[in-house]
């Protein structure tokens, strides 16, 4: 909790060096992604409650993005067999501008041993081509803007039809999803992560249900 509080203060002050130092201190314990993720949620809550100004939250997000880019550039050690753990495609639609939530989740999943391919602002045709040519267990979409929900059901349907894996699971997450997951049943997703849910735990649970022996995959 202390590191989260210190990181929160450092990013609000736009103190990049201090914020990086906090994450670097926790690097070996592999907890720095959780620190950033928790602070992103805290920024959002503080903004909604008018506890911080637009200038402050903009500066905090910008500093957080710089820290994330810096940490990812240092290289991420992966434990376990990526092939055995499962394969996940994560996508941020072209209509979304913020991708660091998806980048954080991709980093956490890789640390847990999953093979993760991350597409940011890429055309649907390119995504569908990759789904068709490579076996994935889960197709995940991070939605941060409500306009990205338009036509999302069609994208999910096309992904299922196109996928090399006919049993591929679809996971949705991002700040656009609020309230009960059942409110988004019309999208026909296997998992909807709403605000307040831990995306890493949700994806792990979904992957556990999707596990297929490697020898049975059509690579």
The verdict on 54 and 95 lying in the same domain is: no
Report how far residue 119's alpha carbon sits from residue 165's, in angstroms, rounded to the nearest whole number. Answer: 18
Confidence of residue 27 (pLDDT cuts 50, 70, 90): low
Residues 88 and 196 in one domain: yes
User: In the structure, what pLDDT confidence band is assigned to residue 215 with cuts at 50, 70 and 90?
Assistant: very low
pLDDT value at residue 82 = 39
| Domain's final residue, options 18, 44, 73 | 73
Expressed as residue numbers, the domain containing 192 is: 82-216
- 156 and 87 in one domain? yes
**Of 39, 73, 107, which marks where a domain is finished?**
73
Regarding whether 65 and 87 lie in a shared domain, the answer is no
Indicate whether 110 and 130 sit together in one domain: yes
pLDDT value of position 28:
52
Distances, alpha carbon 6 to alpha carbons 12, 25, 65, 90, 135, in Å:
10, 12, 17, 30, 42
In terms of average pLDDT, the best of 26-30, 57-61, 215-219 is 57-61
Predicted confidence at residue 75, as pLDDT, reads: 55
Residues paired with 43 in a beta bridge: none
pTM: 0.66
pLDDT at position 166: 92
CATH value at residue 119: 3.40.50.280
Q: For a pLDDT cut of 90, what percent of the chain falls above it? A: 32
Same domain, 136 and 155: yes
Let me know whether 22 and 44 are in one domain.
yes
157 and 205 share a domain? Answer: yes
What is the chain's mean pLDDT, rounded?
A: 82
Domain boundary among the residues 33, 50, 73 is at: 73
Q: What average pLDDT does the segment 129-141 reach? A: 94
CATH number of the structural domain spanning residue 14: 1.10.1240
pLDDT-derived band at 81 (thresholds 50, 70, 90) equals very low
pLDDT at res. 77: 43
| CA 110 – CA 82 distance, rounded (Å) | 8
Q: Are 4 and 35 in contact, with CB atoms under 8 Å apart? A: yes
- What is the pLDDT confidence band of residue 196, given thresholds at 50, 70 and 90? low
Are both 95 and 192 inside the same structural domain? Answer: yes
Domain count, the chain: 2
Q: Can you say whether the dihedral through the CA atoms of 59, 61, 63, 65 is positive or negative?
A: negative
Question: Looking at the structure, do residues 190 and 133 belong to the same domain, yes or no?
Answer: yes
Based on the fold, state whether residues 99 and 30 are members of the same structural domain.
no
pLDDT band at 93 (very low <50, low <70, confident <90, very high): confident
What's the per-residue H, E or C state across 120-181? ECCCHHHHHHHHHHCCCCEEEEECCCHHHHCCHHHHHHHHHHHCCCCCCEEEEECCCCCCCH
pLDDT at 217 over 50: no
The pLDDT tens digits for 60-77 are 888 888 888 787 776 544
CA 111/CA 26 separation, integer angstroms: 14
CA distance 79 to 24: 19
53 and 95, same domain (yes or no): no
């Amino acid at each position: 909790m202390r590191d989260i509080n210190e990181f929160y203060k450092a990013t609000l002050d736009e103190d990049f060096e201090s914020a990086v130092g906090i994450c670097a201190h926790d690097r070996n314990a592999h907890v720095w992604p959780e620190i950033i993720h928790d602070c992103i949620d805290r920024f959002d809550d503080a903004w909604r409650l008018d506890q911080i100004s637009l200038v402050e939250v903009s500066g905090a997000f910008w500093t957080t993005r710089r820290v994330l880019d810096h940490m990812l550039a240092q290289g991420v050690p992966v434990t376990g067999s990526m092939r055995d753990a499962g394969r996940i495609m994560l996508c941020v639609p072209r209509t979304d501008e913020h991708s660091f939530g998806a980048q954080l989740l991709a980093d956490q999943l890789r640390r847990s041993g999953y093979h993760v391919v991350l597409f940011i602002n890429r055309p649907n045709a390119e995504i569908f081509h990759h789904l068709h040519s490579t076996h994935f267990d889960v197709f995940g979409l991070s939605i941060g803007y409500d306009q990205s929900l338009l036509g999302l059901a069609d994208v999910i349907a096309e992904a299922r039809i196109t996928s090399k894996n006919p049993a591929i699971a679809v996971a949705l997450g991002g700040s656009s999803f609020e309230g009960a997951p059942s409110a988004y049943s019309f999208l026909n997703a296997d998992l909807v992560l709403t605000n307040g849910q831990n995306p890493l735990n949700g994806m792990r649970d979904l992957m556990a249900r999707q596990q297929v022996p490697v020898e049975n995959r059509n690579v």
